[in-house]
Amino acid sequence: MMRSFSDRKRPPLESLARLFRGPDSESGVTAVEFALAAGIFLSLLLGVIELGRFSFTQAMLFYAAEEGTRWAVVNPPPPASASAEDQTAYENQLKDFIKTKVALAGLIDTEGVDAIIDPDITNNVDNTRWVDIQVRYTFTFLMPFMGGLGPIQINADSTGFLAEEEL
């Protein structure tokens, strides 16, 4: 009986040679290059998005601090002789106003926003009053590779002139 060419068994070395085609073979190089390039490209893209989120959050906090100062100048705080309840009610109203300005973006959790109001800064030279507003927020990155930076505290300050008082 004669054997045909297709019936012949392949030697084991030929099968191994098919798995590893040698240094001159370029099969799969494109896939490896794509995987390396895509990983770098996606890391850069996500990093730019995260830094954009950070910058946007910082800009919104500065906007909220400036708008809060404007509100405090238009609606002056109660005098120092006012009751503690009136002063607390004024500060809570101003803090709520600042949080609504931060919430305009829809991307910032307003529960993490802390506003510190100091309406009794007085200059002793000319007896003027200023309001100082500080808005604080702890920013956390969403991307795991940016997590090495950890949460970052963002502070936004704004100061405004209230009124001149009689000596």
Q: How would you write the chain as a 3-class SS string?
A: CCCCHHHCCCCHHHHHHHHCCCCCCCCCHHHHHHHHHHHHHHHHHHHHHHHHHHHHHHHHHHHHHHHHHHHHHHCCCCCCCCCHHHHHHHHHHHHHHHHHHHHCCCCCCHHHCEEEEEEEEEECCCCEEEEEEEEEEEECCCCHHHHHHCCEEEEEEEEEEEEECCC
- Please state whether the predicted TM-score (pTM) of the whole model is above 0.75: no
95-115: pLDDT as tens digits: 899 988 888 877 787 788 888
- Tell me the average pLDDT across 35-55: 89
Residue 50's pLDDT band (cuts 50, 70, 90): confident
